[in-house]
Amino acid sequence: MIELTEDPIDCARLLEQVSDPTCGGQVLFLGTTRRWTQLASGEAVETEYLHYEAYREMALTQLKDLAETAKKRWPIKHVAIFHRLGRVEPEESSVGVAVSSPHRSESFEAAKWLIDELKHEVPIWKQEHYVQNGAEWIHPTSGSCSCDHPGSVQIDKSQLQHANESASGAESPNTKTAAATHTQPSSVPNEGARVQPESSQTQSLHAEQARQTQQ
C-alpha cells in the first residue's frame, strides 16, 4: 500500500497494511520534522514547518517499484509507505515506512533500504520554512548523505572526492539526501551541517571501484 497524502500519517492504519498471521515482526520507520537543526558551527536553526511537493504520478510508480524490489530482495511479506505532501509541522511525520516478515531481521534491513532509496530516488521535494531566514527548496548536493546508499545517481566520482569541506557529526534526518551531480556546497544552513569530509558514500564508491578493479 502506497499513499501520498495531505493528511497526518495514521500509524495504526499504516501498520494494519502490513499485518499478517505468518509474520513475527513489524518494523515502522517514521521520518519526522525537526524544529531545531544543529549546524557544524554550533548554531541552531529553527524550522517553522516543511512544505512537500511531488511529481505525483512518478513518485507513486517509483514507490511501488521500491516495494516490489524489497519483496524480491528480502523474505518479507508486506510493505506500506505513506508520504505527506503539503505542509508538515515540527514533530509531525512526513514519511512512514512499515514492513512485516516472519522473522524480524529482514524487516529491519528492508525498512532501512526503503527509506534510503526513497530519499535518494523518489521525486519528492521539501521546502524548509525557517523562522528566521525565509523559505528554501532543498536540493542536496552529492556526498552530503551519510547513509550507505550506493549511489546518488550520476555522481561524478572525480568531483565527489573534493566535494565536501566542513566536518560535522550533526545528523539531519530531515534532509540528508544526495542525488546530485554538482558539488557546490549549498547555502542552506542545514545543508552545510550534513557535509562530511569523507562520506560513507564516498567510501562505498571507493570500495566499489576497488571491487571492479579486482574482477
For residue 140, CA distances in Å to 27, 70, 74, 195, 211 come to 27, 25, 29, 10, 28
Distance CA 58, CA 89 (A): 25
Q: Which stretch binds other proteins (CB under 8 A): 13-21, 57-65, 66-74, 160-168?
A: 57-65
Our finding on whether 201 is near other proteins (CB under 8 A) is no
Our finding on whether 111 is near other proteins (CB under 8 A) is no
- Parallel, antiparallel or unpaired: strands 36-38 and 25-32: unpaired
Our finding on whether 143 is near other proteins (CB under 8 A) is no
Our finding on whether 182 is near other proteins (CB under 8 A) is yes
Specify whether the CB–CB gap between 94 and 31 falls below 8 A: yes
Site string for other proteins, 18-47 (x = CB under 8 A): -------------x----------------
- Contact with other proteins (CB under 8 A) among 22, 132, 158, 184: 184
Our finding on whether 112 is near other proteins (CB under 8 A) is no
Chain center to CA of 122: 9
Our finding on whether 166 is near other proteins (CB under 8 A) is no
Instruction: Spell out where the chain has E strands.
Output: 2-5, 25-32, 36-38, 44-54, 78-84, 86-88, 93-101, 124-130, 135-137
Closest to other proteins by CB, 140 vs 189, is: 140
- Contact with other proteins (CB under 8 A) among 57, 169, 213, 214: 57
Length, in residues, of the chain: 215
Our finding on whether 11 is near other proteins (CB under 8 A) is no
Distance CA 215, CA 203 (A): 19
Closest to other proteins by CB, 77 vs 119, is: 119
Q: Which residues touch 141 (CB under 8 Å, ≥6 apart)?
A: 163, 178, 180, 182, 183, 184, 185, 186, 191, 195
CB of 176 to other proteins, least distance (A): 9
Binding site for other proteins (CB under 8 A): 31, 52-55, 57-59, 61, 83, 94-95, 115, 118-127, 137-141, 152-154, 173, 175, 177-182, 184
